[in-house]
Amino acid sequence: MLRRSAADVLGLGLQSGEKIDVASVGGGRTVAYVHRIETRFDPSILYPVRYAIADTENVPNLLGRLDVFDCLQFDFDATFQQTRVAAPWLDHGQRQIWDFLIETEQHILHRWDQLPYSANAKDALKRFIRRGGQILASVRALLIQHHMYAAPALIRAMLELALQFEYLLQDPENRSNAYREYTHIRKHKQSRAVAENPSGPISDFIANSPERATGEARNQAEYDRVRPMFEMKTRKGKTILASSWYKMSVSDLANALGRGGEYRLVYAACSTWAHGDPFSTQDAQSQVLTQPNIVLMVCVGYYARMMLQIADSAKIILTGEQHDFLQQLSAGPS
């Protein structure tokens, strides 16, 4: 809604618009005339908006839901005292895909008890599902803020997660044990790094804690217990400690699963971004893996693959539509 004087400022004949009566919250009524006015919200958003220009000055200028809040995304940032306007982060088709994926995910997760695995295996699998959901939430946040230049790191994380999940499901009981036990390898390394390199109040507190010796002894004992599980021989016969719970590189893992091509296409491209490769720093926005449609479909696809694998593994009954939907999404980028 605009005041009467806006018609003069815009060069409009007030009564040339469609006449309507507008009711106020207090019950009063105002005569107004509806005009479609080309409106620019930012350099990339320009389209006609319906305005009710009142036949009086005694009304506030207002942005309403019709043609504005129904169509655009507004971010009111109290911290920086800014208002940002952007196009919706999903179009209608993408919204349908997103909604149906969440609906299918809930259908599967509500039947988690049907998984024919031990509590330890279920726990390991659930950790992967939870992390997949967290990555999807991060992708959603980037889409909302239109900050797709940060997406390659999340795509890489989602692909690696999906590969590990598939590998775990091939032998869930034994591999879930390795996955959980590798915690002690990481914990030992991390605690040593924090205690030996104090650089802030937390690490300084740990380094000087009277309980440090007891904690380190406990971590060392667990580390010594599980270390033999993760020792490997190099080609030269040297014994080394595996850098991952699955005891191979990500590329070897992808090849072992028959997904080497996918690794070389997606993971390697995302790694150039994460590592600041000169190719990726030319113009991040021009790279394929920063395009909103591709980012959404790649990450949704890997998560859908995880959902389909857990449903097939547990023989969870899906509708034909749900199964075909997950299968199409999880086919991977082409």
Q: What contacts 24+ positions apart, CB below 8 Å, involve 239-244?
A: 241/185, 244/182
- pLDDT tens-digit readout, 291-327: 888 899 999 999 999 999 999 998 999 999 999 999 9
Q: Which residues contact 85 (CB under 8 A, 6 or more apart)?
A: 41, 42, 45, 72, 73, 74, 75
Give the residue with greater pLDDT, 262 vs 215. 262
Mean pLDDT of 141-152: 88
Q: What is the mean pLDDT of the chain?
A: 90
Mean pLDDT of 30-55: 92
- pLDDT tens-digit readout, 249-285: 999 999 999 999 999 989 988 998 888 888 777 765 5
Instruction: Supply the Cα-derived Rg of the chain in whole angstroms.
Output: 28
Q: How far apart are CA 73 and CA 137, in angstroms?
A: 18
Give residue 149's pLDDT: 87
Q: Decide if 150 contacts 140 (C-beta within 8 A).
A: no
- pLDDT tens-digit readout, 236-259: 889 999 999 999 999 999 999 999
Mean pLDDT of 69-95: 89
Q: How far apart are CA 265 and CA 256, in angstroms?
A: 16
Residue percentage of the chain with pLDDT more than 70: 97
pLDDT greater than 60 at residue 9: yes
Give residue 324's pLDDT: 94
Structure tokens at 46: 């320009």
Neighbours of 324 (CB within 10 A): 11
Ramachandran region, residue 161 (left: φ > 0; alpha: ψ -120 to 50; beta: rest): alpha
DSSP class per residue in 164-188:
HHHHHHHSHHHHHHHHHHHHHHHHH
Residue percentage of the chain with pLDDT more than 90: 62
Give residue 198's pLDDT: 66
91: pLDDT confidence band, cut at 50, 70 and 90?
Answer: confident
Give residue 322's pLDDT: 95
Mean pLDDT of 109-123: 91
Give residue 201's pLDDT: 77
Give residue 333's pLDDT: 53
Single pTM value for the model: 0.82
pLDDT greater than 80 at residue 27: no
Mean pLDDT of 181-193: 89
Q: Decide if 154 contacts 135 (C-beta within 8 A).
A: yes
* SS3 state of residue 191: helix
- pLDDT tens-digit readout, 43-74: 888 989 999 999 999 998 998 899 999 989 88
Mean pLDDT of 230-237: 90
pLDDT greater than 80 at residue 286: no
214: pLDDT confidence band, cut at 50, 70 and 90?
Answer: confident
